């Protein structure tokens, strides 16, 4: 199996907030080094600097807006998260959805700051539209499976296979991540067998009784 990209989204879970975010990020760093894989983390915006300054791990913002400096109260600038230490960002997560024009603006703003972009999608047509914007990654996550513990690779493998095929047709430089319900090593294996290059996951790690052990299980097939 090729070395995958694993991104752990901390969402707004209390288990991944503040100093707890640093502890989970440190576990991600250590397991990644032991397994020879890349594990990135997406903490809350207020924790980006805290995590990035204390742990040598790729940090992703959970969201950025396509705005420039100015009168944009409450928005998140790509340049701000980049200066805080982020190397990339999620865009259009199912819990922070955008319309296509706003997705394009966010991707452009992130690209201008050198941030790696992961555009989240929920079906094949949305994945195809996102691929046309040329992010580095699209992450396929049917929202009805998020947090259920039922992996999309098991519940709806066709949406992953179809998304991979659509992306290859539109822009083969874009890579596909698999999300929703991912928590175990077998889920990672199944996702990659369907053509994805990695996974985006959250509660299976962040809310685990022992996040490090959960990470070790996730990468055990590698």
10 is in an annotated binding site: yes
147 is in an annotated binding site: no
- Kindly tell me the burial class for residue 173, based on how many C-beta atoms sit within 10 Å of its own C-beta (0-12, 13-18, 19 or more): exposed
110 is in an annotated binding site: no
All structural domains of the chain, each given as residue ranges with its CATH number in brackets, are 5-220 (3.20.20.70)
| Whether the predicted pLDDT of 213 surpasses 80 | yes
Phi then psi dihedrals of residue 58, to 5 deg = -65, 125
203 is in an annotated binding site: yes
| Whether the predicted pLDDT of 42 surpasses 80 | yes
Among residues of the chain, what percentage have pLDDT more than 90? 78
Among residues of the chain, what percentage have pLDDT more than 70? 93
pLDDT tens, position by position, 66-113? 999 999 999 999 999 999 999 999 999 999 999 999 999 999 999 999
Answer whether 160's CB lies under 8 Å from 178's CB.
Answer: yes
List 63, 93, 104, 136, catalytic entry: 93
11 is in an annotated binding site: yes
In this prediction, residue 157 has a pLDDT band, given cuts at 50, 70 and 90, of: confident
3 state SS of 195: coil
List 141, 165, 186, 209, catalytic entry: 141
* Active-site annotation holds for 93: yes
pTM, full prediction: 0.94
| Whether the predicted pLDDT of 203 surpasses 70 | yes
* Active-site annotation holds for 144: no
């Amino acid at each position: 199996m090729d070395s995958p990209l694993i991104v752990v989204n901390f969402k707004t879970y209390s288990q991944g907030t503040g100093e707890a975010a640093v502890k989970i990020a440190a576990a991600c760093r250590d397991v990644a080094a032991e397994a020879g894989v890349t594990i990135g983390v997406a903490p809350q915006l207020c924790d980006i600097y805290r995590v990035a300054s204390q742990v040598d791990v790729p940090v992703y913002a959970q969201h950025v807006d396509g705005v420039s400096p100015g009168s944009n109260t409450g928005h998140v600038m790509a340049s701000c998260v980049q200066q805080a230490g982020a190397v990339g960002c999620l865009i259009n997560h199912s819990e922070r959805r955008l319309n296509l024009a706003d997705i394009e603006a966010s991707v452009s703003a992130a690209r201008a700051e050198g941030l790696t972009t992961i555009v989240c999608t929920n079906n094949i047509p949305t994945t195809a539209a996102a691929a046309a914007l040329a992010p580095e990654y699209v992450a396929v996550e049917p929202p009805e499976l998020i947090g259920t513990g039922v992996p999309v690779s098991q519940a709806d493998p066709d949406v992953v296979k179809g998304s991979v095929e659509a992306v290859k047709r539109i822009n083969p430089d874009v890579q596909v991540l698999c999300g929703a319900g991912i928590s175990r090593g077998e889920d990672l294996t199944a996702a990659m067998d369907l053509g994805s290059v990695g996974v985006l996951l959250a509660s299976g790690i962040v809310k685990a009784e022992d996040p490090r052990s959960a990470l070790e299980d996730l990468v055990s097939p590698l």
